[in-house]
Structure 1
Amino acid sequence: MRRLLNTLYVTTPDAYLACEGENVLVKADDQTKFRIPIHNLEGIITFGYAGASPALMRLCCERGVAFSFLSSSGYFLGRVTGKAHGNVLLRRQQYRWADNDETTLRLSKRFIVSKILNSRVCIQRALRDHEEKIESNELVSAVNILKRLAEEVRNVNNIDLLRGIEGEAARIYFGCLDTMILAQKDEFFFHERIKRPPTDNVNALLSFLYTILSHDVEAALESVGLDPQVGYLHRDRPGRSSLALDMMEEFRSYLVDRMVLSLINRRQINGKGFIKKESEAVIMTDETKKLVLTEWQKRKKEEITHPYLDEKIPIGLLPYAQALLMARHIRGDLDDYPPFFWK
């Protein structure tokens, strides 16, 4: 298992990124504000307008450091990567599998079962941790329905039916999210998932962190030699990282939703950290972004015993571990792909 490295998040709008030897520099007002050796990084993510020197982008490509550009609200704009790594035969097999309906359905079912059961655990954790504060009837009902839907997935023989079950499970799960928000209800409420653009504080948080997660999953897939754009559950679309979106389904509730609930319920953030624009879109202030990203980095350093590998790894390496298992399965080293199940 590889070592967990850092991701550099740049939220200062007028920052300029450059390099000096093997060091990444963050400059503002003609001064170097931050310096870090390139070998300590696995990724760089910038928010808003942040210029970058061609020399730095070349260095990132040579060292395998993913460099992503996001808008100030967290919308993905583009990514700089180096040469594709890994055995070309692995990618060729990945493409063949994507054209095979039976294999596509089988792997899609793995992603969806993991998503549904991990969503179920998120609700169960809320019931366990806040037994005295939470209204339990709705959540207990949702737990039972999600269990039934996960069992239905096993017998599905059509990808469209599978997507239908996924949609129903998402509706049940997100219908519980507002009940699991126990603090600051006037400022943090959730009625439905709204993506482009998010129009309330909770959706803004979810969209922001889902984008960060997608960067990590995409980088993990590339690091093991897989093509993030060719997936199984999500249809091919120019510019869309379908396999990264497939694998993200396993982590959404465990890594993002749980963290969003914690940030709100522990009052680590408040409504003053969000701005509603004339377009009705809600964005976070720079201070809130920095706080959320700091907590995200802390979360990634926590350790978990991987349910399949049965070894302790930093949570931040979960996308890499799953990408590695997927690559091994496609190469034929594993009979099936074992998705991540939250216990």
Structure 2
Amino acid sequence: MPTAILTQPGLHVRLTSQRLEVHGPHPETGEETLLRPIPLHDLERIVAGEDVHFTSPALAELLRRGIPIQIFSWEGRFLGGFLPALQPAGRTRLRQYQRILDPDFTLTVARRIVAAKLYNQRRVLQRLLANRTAAGSDDPALDNVRQTLDQLEQLFPPIRQSRSLDELRGFEGLATARYFQAWATFLPAEFPFERRSTRPPHNPVNACISFAATLLYSEATAFCHAHGLDPALGTLHLPDDGRWSLALDLIEPFRPALVEALALDLFSHKILNHSHFENRDGGCFLNPDGRRKFFLQYERRMEREFLSETVGHRTTLRQQLENQATLFKTALENPDAFEPFLIN
């Protein structure tokens, strides 16, 4: 069990020997009872709601074992993380600061990130199109998907030859807009998707995309910290107050493989329906029951093993996300070492 998800209100987490014990109200009697033990030896992270209580010994043991906690508010907003003490990485940070000020380095790395994202967007559409075609569909909208694939293919040369970050971001925005237009073709009719909307998301599809991206972003931020990197200093995303730009960079190629693919599965397989969403604060958001289902599917996808043609062995999306932080750190000395994540 790499991740423990604790979102039920009123839970108390205590340390007993080599395990955590989660106490809370019994579903039928309401009396305080032991709901589940969690062995620490196979725990890698905890996702917790803001009203879950941890004892000091439990927190201390999690720190000792290097197990982070991600904390979410009752409405599903990521509040922050509880991270183990970090080892000083002055030399790595100094080199990163120097590299981020080097326009050749930032443009080289950013080009690779955008090219990898475009490659993964095309692979997702190709797979969806192949599955729909194999099922015998004669939907005329599939012709638009084929046209989009050709259009995306034509964007590789200008992306790889971009002369500035602004020019590169323009091509990235164009590719993503075309991709989402084609991707929406495969959604069930009861969950339309006209455009990408954030802060707030305006419909259930956007709500799922935003929530998955938030989870991925928080994990990438933690991996950057763990490997001595400053997650605020990115290449494609300019450093700015209030965001972890490097974490945003590293998750870009994972968006098609995880964020959008997961959202599509949730609706296509009827895991989520309209009862799992609520309208508030001018937007549409997952409700508590929807978030519980979402967390479960997110974890399954992040921990599912697959044989990667790029790395040549079995791995998981979570392992590959951490590997991106490792590769970026290596690229501070050897930019050619940075190879963004690619779908098979």
- Say yes or no: TM over 0.5: yes
Unaligned 5+ segments in structure 1 are none
**What code does the residue aligned with 2:5 have?**
Y
**1:318-337 alignment, distance < 5 Å:** 318-332=320-334, 335-337=336-338
- SS at 2:21 equivalent: strand
Paired with 2:302 and 2:325, the residues of 1 have a C-alpha distance of 17
**1:53-132 alignment, distance < 5 Å:** 53-85=55-87, 87-131=89-133, 132=136
Identity between Structure 1 and Structure 2 (%): 26
Per-residue deviation, 1:45: 1.5
Residue in 2 that maps onto 1:47 = 49
- Asked if structure 1 preserves the Cα contact closer than 8 Å seen for 2:75 and 2:287, the reply is no
Larger mean Cα displacement after TM superposition, 36-45 or 46-55: 46-55
**What code does the residue aligned with 1:274 have?**
F
Residue in 2 that maps onto 1:214 = 217
Paired with 1:62 and 1:237, the residues of 2 have a C-alpha distance of 32
String of CA shifts for 1:270-298, please: whole Å, max 9, x gaps: 22222223x33222233332222222222
- SS at 1:46 equivalent: strand
- Asked if structure 1 preserves the Cα contact closer than 8 Å seen for 2:155 and 2:175, the reply is yes
- Asked if structure 1 preserves the Cα contact closer than 8 Å seen for 2:19 and 2:37, the reply is yes
**What code does the residue aligned with 1:20 have?**
T
**What code does the residue aligned with 2:118 have?**
I
Residue in 1 that maps onto 2:166 = 160
Whose radius of gyration is greater, 1 or 2? 2
Residue in 1 that maps onto 2:258 = 255
Paired with 1:194 and 1:286, the residues of 2 have a C-alpha distance of 21
Q: 1:55 to 1:11 in 2, by over 3 A?
A: same
**How many residues of Structure 1 are paired with residues of Structure 2 in the alignment?**
334
String of CA shifts for 1:219-242, please: whole Å, max 9, x gaps: 333333323222211122334221
- SS at 2:44 equivalent: strand
Larger mean Cα displacement after TM superposition, 42-51 or 266-275: 42-51
- SS at 1:192 equivalent: coil
Give the 4+ runs in structure 1 shifted more than 6 A: none
- SS at 2:342 equivalent: coil
Paired with 1:89 and 1:39, the residues of 2 have a C-alpha distance of 32
- Asked if structure 2 preserves the Cα contact closer than 8 Å seen for 1:60 and 1:81, the reply is no
Unaligned 5+ segments in structure 2 are 26-31
Q: 1:65 to 1:14 in 2, by over 3 A?
A: same
Paired with 1:68 and 1:296, the residues of 2 have a C-alpha distance of 14
**What code does the residue aligned with 1:10 have?**
L
- Asked if structure 2 preserves the Cα contact closer than 8 Å seen for 1:74 and 1:211, the reply is no
Per-residue deviation, 1:158: 0.6
Cα RMSD between the aligned structures? 2.1
- Asked if structure 2 preserves the Cα contact closer than 8 Å seen for 1:57 and 1:80, the reply is no
String of CA shifts for 1:202-256, please: whole Å, max 9, x gaps: 1111111111212222233333332322221112233422111101001001012
- Asked if structure 1 preserves the Cα contact closer than 8 Å seen for 2:14 and 2:57, the reply is yes
Residue in 2 that maps onto 1:146 = 152
Q: 1:101 to 1:263 in 2, by over 3 A?
A: same
Residue in 2 that maps onto 1:242 = 245
Paired with 1:9 and 1:296, the residues of 2 have a C-alpha distance of 11
Per-residue deviation, 1:58: 3.1
- Asked if structure 1 preserves the Cα contact closer than 8 Å seen for 2:76 and 2:286, the reply is no
Alignment counterpart, residue 8 of structure 1, candidates 4, 8, 26: 4
Per-residue deviation, 1:331: 4.3
String of CA shifts for 1:82-120, please: whole Å, max 9, x gaps: 222374322221221112111111111111111111111
Q: 1:307 to 1:327 in 2, by over 3 A?
A: farther
Residue in 1 that maps onto 2:303 = 301
Residue in 2 that maps onto 1:312 = 314
- Asked if structure 2 preserves the Cα contact closer than 8 Å seen for 1:177 and 1:190, the reply is no
- Asked if structure 2 preserves the Cα contact closer than 8 Å seen for 1:111 and 1:246, the reply is yes
Paired with 1:140 and 1:78, the residues of 2 have a C-alpha distance of 41
Q: 1:220 to 1:297 in 2, by over 3 A?
A: same
